[in-house]
A and B are shown apart, each in its own frame.
Chain A
């Protein structure tokens, strides 16, 4: 007679969560590197897409608001650490946007079309950059309307387009077609 001992299921769950965190962190670091180094290649007339926002929103959509908040906050913090602006600004903006998108998706679960990704990321980028510019433009002679027109809007559109392409890519399609998000609570 063979007896099989099943390991504790909660132990498995923890291992899965840990493996997910390691995977997400690796992706986050790679995307941060891409955002920093590939920026000149991706740049069009001084405007760049926010790849880290796509990552944070993607995490929020797939894993829920908590994971979105963590991804947004940490990638935003990394952005802040490398930037010449205030530390904490992008962490606040990105974390907040990813969290509320996660909350929204938890209430309205379902697949999102590539065009839906475009709209979602465009709006997310606008809100994030608007929030950040409230801090970054303090004392600056550049007005918010001017900055909105020349930086925030084009950057949001570019991020939206990249989100659209991300949703069309096989790996992104798998994510956008997943109707029930697997959440880390």
Chain B
């Protein structure tokens, strides 16, 4: 899925205080609601009504089906918490849950470790190289996730390009196993998730005034010290946004782990598909989905206490 490339921060909804004589703001400085619009409204005014069709649409097409799934997890096949009990009673299933978390956390950390210096390099590189670095991040972002995961299989498998090359160069005598195991999952997911880390990081770092670093050094701080005590804290918002995006998306991944992982690397997403398509156990699949969704929403709720989650999804001006 080529997700939110341009879907970064801010929704400057015009919640301006009432001001009887709106001083014309410079063009581009927010949208001054025409003065005539300050009257009372019941549910919405004329403009607001335009947001209602999509709200209704998403309620019917998305939210109601989700609610039904949620309900079904308690009613299918019998009323009660049976599905959840079955899930938490069996180590096979709890292992999947643990594995999902471990994978998501590892992927987040690796993308952060790679993405942070990469984004930093983008901010200090000359304009031409900056564009090159940006395009390198954006090209995979634009291309089908399926295609990329499939390409990685071709590249990483025992008879794949990497192993063939290393073997023919005599650097290794046996192929290194890089697919159908945890390594494969990690490589694949990091490859897929890296843009989601780099883009918010870059957006934040670009806004950091580099003169602050010079100022710190001018005050006697060593460059490394200035970097750690000035630059890193200032980029925290980008780290948080990128990590949240990567972590939450990793939790629900299906395609990449299914293609690159082995039997021990099953994640929740894959288990849900299995339960529906092969076992036809709808109630249990629904319970799994409910667990995954609740975990995702709880994480978002926790994150929203520390960072402005809306800014991550709504585009910044």
**A and B pair up:** no
Residues of A within 8 A of B (CB): none
